Amino acid sequence: MEAFSIFTSILYLGLIVSQANADPVEDKQALLDFVNSFPHSRSLNWNESSPVCNHWTGVKCSQDGSRIVALRLPGVGLTGQIPPNTISRLSALKILSLRSNVITGHFPSDFFNLKSLSFLYLQFNNFSGPLPDFSVWKNLTIVNLSNNGFNGTIPRSLSNLTQLQALNLANNCLSGEVPDLSLPSLQQLNLSNNFLSGSIPKSLERFPSSAFAGNNISSGERLAPRVSPDQAPSESNVRPKNGRRIGETALLGIIIAACVLGVVAFAFLIIACCVKKKKEDGFKGTLQKREMSPEKVVSRNQDANNRLFFFEGCSYAFDLEDLLRASAEVLGKGTFGMAYKAILEDATTVVVKRLKDVSVGKRDFEQQMEVVGSIKHENVVELKAYYYSKDEKLMVYDYYSQGSASSMLHGKRGEGRIPLDWDTRMRIAIGAARGIARIHAENSGKLVHGNVKSSNIFLNSRQYGCVSDLGLTTITSSLAPVIARAAGYRAPEVTDTRKATQSSDVYSFGVVLLELLTGKSPIHTTGGDELVHLVRWVHSVVREEWTAEVFDVELLRYPNIEEEMVEMLQIAMSCVVRMPDQRPKMLDVIKMIENVRPVVEPENHPSSDNKSESSTPPPPRVDE
Ligand SMILES: *[C@@H]1O[C@H](CO)[C@@H](O)[C@H](O)[C@H]1NC(C)=O
Ligand SMILES: *[C@@H]1O[C@H](CO)[C@@H](O)[C@H](O)[C@H]1NC(C)=O
Ligand SMILES: *[C@@H]1O[C@H](CO)[C@@H](O)[C@H](O)[C@H]1NC(C)=O
Ligand SMILES: *[C@@H]1O[C@H](CO)[C@@H](O)[C@H](O)[C@H]1NC(C)=O
Ligand SMILES: *[C@@H]1O[C@H](CO)[C@@H](O)[C@H](O)[C@H]1NC(C)=O
Ligand SMILES: *[C@@H]1O[C@H](CO)[C@@H](O)[C@H](O)[C@H]1NC(C)=O
Ligand SMILES: *[C@@H]1O[C@H](CO)[C@@H](O)[C@H](O)[C@H]1NC(C)=O
Ligand SMILES: *[C@@H]1O[C@H](CO)[C@@H](O)[C@H](O)[C@H]1NC(C)=O
């Protein structure tokens, strides 16, 4: 009680303090002027009446909230020239990323006001004209102006950037000789695919020849292809602070393919601006890149306009390129494809699902994504974005750090296991039930989840179940072989009809309940190689004698829950009856579970029960 009120008063104090200097008023006005006079195709949630620091997409403030220090708007479809006297008023700006837009015109001359600028990402735009005098930005660390139409020479003023670690000017129309740049901090350089001539200055000889490829640069033996894979500097070398390693997993491969779309698009730009001087050579660099995976060359052309599609109200600001640069880690192979955890540059963590066997065209796919993406419910994992091209279909979700119900139940059995207590199991059950019921209400009551299983259920910020991976059965080819793990959740009729329905969702949910009660996987082995189907096993145990043997031994330590467990078992059994029309509707299931017990809120959970103390869930994350 005492602790609670102290906590709330601290919280309250914090609110007052942060409100006192919440909004950097002038910076906010600069951004509003920027966005109001700059056409863009993706809507930004920049609401004048909401605080800029925590709510505006792509905007980050200094710690005290007094200034805006980062602006990241990659791939939002900004089209035209940057309106003068807007961004340049954000004089405390350190990070500016406007890449993958359609920005035209010269390098904005008023950017000279951005004296603190450290990271500048303007690649994949349509800038033209000369490069600026760089000597004003003393703190520049990473400069990426690649894939634009800049022309003229490489300015000597780059020598003044003592902090510079990475410079990418590839795929522009720069000409003249490469100046002798003494940049001891420089770790990554790319000047490829320009019209540079002369020779490589001594100071830059340490870089691999691919950094100069696609120019008319002569340098004796340097022209020989002496670049080997281990010589090429890895991008992780230039990570400013946290030298995070780029995940060289499959995700990179996938998304490189997707990103090359952009390269193709800008190949046209390169042709447009460079066509006079050397028609063939100008295209060679990009063509070579495409030749790496010849099977994709054809389709990329028609997909060139594709971008990651974000849903309304999504506060993420990243694009395919960010995903490309993200460190990625395989989370697992799901029914519909691989899932990856991707950590972006700004530490945003998302789950990327790569769908396989998508059997519908773009329109149908988009329509289904619209249906799925429109569901906003605390018990349904929100689809944030998707990507569709001929070769690649991606879905982007929030990442849940606690893992799935499946990993909580079955992970680390034995030594070092954190038991999953009954309260949490109840909250997983009721949350998942509410989520599925919400899904069943969508699309005039016709939407089917189609893949209910414990590895698709996570804990939301209030520690209730939250379902993911919905609505994909109708867009993936139903003939795809079922992997064994999913089979245990399949209603008997689905095996024949191969068509998931709402009542087959109820069946699958029943299996999840059995899993929560027994702690056993839906298909498991006992001793030998004999496969045991959980539903059949529970039936047989229950038929023989109604004992506590069905229940997870882990649950035996919690007192006074037998009655609840038995009632939950009855609900589960009613969900997994053989005849689809005898199963309850999801809304009925919710009522039944709520009758077992008004489910305990984690916040008010009295920890008088010592035995469950060790297993109470971690405090809910306020900001997820
Ligand atoms: C902006 O926010 C206010 C209050 O937060 C809300 O009433 C208004 O509808 C929002 N406007 C837009 C365009 O979203
Ligand atoms: C450049 O960075 C240094 C160290 O982070 C900082 O002290 C200095 O104020 C920065 N310069 C400008 C112009 O922001
Ligand atoms: C890029 O700019 C050039 C002129 O600078 C123009 O001809 C071309 O159409 C532009 N490309 C796009 C995609 O806007
Ligand atoms: C750069 O391109 C512009 C047209 O976009 C042209 O007028 C100018 O002469 C070019 N400059 C150089 C140095 O080639
Ligand atoms: C920038 O570098 C040039 C030589 O490249 C030098 O003459 C000039 O003094 C430097 N300017 C500053 C402000 O350091
Ligand atoms: C610059 O952009 C290019 C093209 O997107 C990318 O391949 C490269 O890694 C970037 N380099 C740096 C230093 O950010
Ligand atoms: C430079 O960029 C080109 C194409 O953008 C790429 O093929 C090459 O590998 C890059 N070289 C280095 C050293 O990063
Ligand atoms: C390439 O450079 C050499 C001298 O460095 C020059 O003679 C030749 O004309 C240049 N070729 C092109 C296509 O510009």
* pLDDT tens profile 122-177: 999 999 999 999 999 999 999 999 999 999 999 999 998 998 999 999 999 999 99
* Predicted pLDDT of residue 546: 64
CA of 413 to the centre of ligand 6 (A): 44
Testing ligand 1's pocket by substitution, the residue of 23, 36, 50, 56 carrying the most ligand atoms inside 8 A of its CB is: 50
pLDDT band for position 573 (cuts 50, 70, 90) = very high
CA of 139 to the centre of ligand 2 (A): 6
Q: Which residues of 144-160 are buried (b: 16+ CB within 10 A; e: fewer)?
A: bbbbbbbbeebbebbbb
Q: Which two tokens stand for residue 131?
A: 């490069």
Question: Is the CB of 152 within 6 Å of ligand 4?
Answer: yes
In this prediction the pTM is 0.52
CB atoms within 10 A of CB 22: 16
Question: Is the CB of 97 within 6 Å of ligand 6?
Answer: no
CA of 190 to the centre of ligand 5 (A): 23
More confident residue, 523 or 275: 523
Is residue 267 pLDDT above 80, yes or no? no
* Predicted pLDDT of residue 621: 28
Testing ligand 8's pocket by substitution, the residue of 199, 216, 279 carrying the most ligand atoms inside 8 A of its CB is: 216
Q: Which two tokens stand for residue 205?
A: 């000889």
CA of 314 to the centre of ligand 6 (A): 25
Long-range contacts of 503-507 (CB under 8 A, 24+ apart): 503/580, 503/581, 503/583, 504/448, 504/450, 504/580, 505/436, 505/439, 505/440, 505/448, 505/449, 505/450, 505/452, 505/586, 506/575, 506/583, 506/584, 506/585, 506/586, 506/589, 507/575, 507/576, 507/580, 507/583
Q: What is the mean pLDDT of residues 500-518?
A: 93
pLDDT above 70 covers a percentage of the chain that reads: 72
- CA pair distance 386, 394, nearest whole angstrom: 5
* Predicted pLDDT of residue 610: 33
Is residue 53 pLDDT above 60, yes or no? yes
pLDDT above 90 covers a percentage of the chain that reads: 35
- CA pair distance 38, 417, nearest whole angstrom: 55
pLDDT band for position 392 (cuts 50, 70, 90) = confident
pLDDT band for position 549 (cuts 50, 70, 90) = confident
More confident residue, 611 or 109: 109
Residue nearest to atom 8 of ligand 4 (CA): 129
Q: What is the mean pLDDT of residues 364-388?
A: 88
pLDDT band for position 601 (cuts 50, 70, 90) = low
pLDDT band for position 335 (cuts 50, 70, 90) = confident
CB 127 within 8 A of CB 147: no
* Predicted pLDDT of residue 399: 87
* Predicted pLDDT of residue 550: 86
pLDDT band for position 568 (cuts 50, 70, 90) = very high
pLDDT band for position 185 (cuts 50, 70, 90) = confident
DSSP E strand boundaries for 323-392: 327-334, 337-343, 349-355, 383-388
68-97 per-position pLDDT tens digit: 999 999 888 899 999 999 999 999 999 999
Q: What is the mean pLDDT of residues 466-478?
A: 80
More confident residue, 403 or 512: 512
DSSP string for residues in 393-412: EEEEEE--TT-BHHHHHHTT
Question: Is the CB of 162 within 6 Å of ligand 2?
Answer: no
Is residue 387 pLDDT above 80, yes or no? yes
CA of 191 to the centre of ligand 8 (A): 17
pLDDT band for position 22 (cuts 50, 70, 90) = low
Q: What is the mean pLDDT of residues 357-378?
A: 86
* Predicted pLDDT of residue 441: 92
CB atoms within 10 A of CB 324: 20
Is residue 238 pLDDT above 80, yes or no? no
Is residue 40 pLDDT above 90, yes or no? no
Question: Is the CB of 591 within 6 Å of ligand 5?
Answer: no
Is residue 609 pLDDT above 50, yes or no? no
Residue nearest to atom 2 of ligand 2 (CA): 139
CA of 136 to the centre of ligand 5 (A): 10
Testing ligand 3's pocket by substitution, the residue of 81, 100, 103, 104 carrying the most ligand atoms inside 8 A of its CB is: 104
Residue 223: closest CA among 209, 204, 208: 209
Is residue 307 pLDDT above 80, yes or no? no
Residue nearest to atom 2 of ligand 3 (CA): 126
Q: In the chain, what are the domains? A: 36-215 (3.80.10.10), 292-596 (1.10.510.10)
* Predicted pLDDT of residue 527: 64
Is residue 283 pLDDT above 70, yes or no? no
Lining ligand 7 with CB less than 6 A are: 170-171, 190, 192, 208, 210-211, 232, 285, 289
- Least trusted range by pLDDT, from 490-499, 563-572, 612-621: 612-621
pLDDT band for position 324 (cuts 50, 70, 90) = low
- CA pair distance 166, 173, nearest whole angstrom: 19
47 CA: nearest ligand 1 atom: 1
Q: What is the mean pLDDT of residues 443-457?
A: 90
pLDDT band for position 599 (cuts 50, 70, 90) = low
* Predicted pLDDT of residue 386: 87
The kind and range of the H/E element at 173 are strand 173-177
Is residue 618 pLDDT above 50, yes or no? no
* Predicted pLDDT of residue 491: 86
Annotated binding-site ranges for ATP: 362
262 CA: nearest ligand 6 atom: 5
CA of 184 to the centre of ligand 7 (A): 20
- CA pair distance 167, 361, nearest whole angstrom: 40
Is residue 189 pLDDT above 80, yes or no? yes
Testing ligand 2's pocket by substitution, the residue of 135, 137, 139, 165 carrying the most ligand atoms inside 8 A of its CB is: 139
528-543 per-position pLDDT tens digit: 667 788 898 888 888 7
Ligand with an atom nearest the CA of residue 291: 7
> Residue 323 is which amino acid?
L
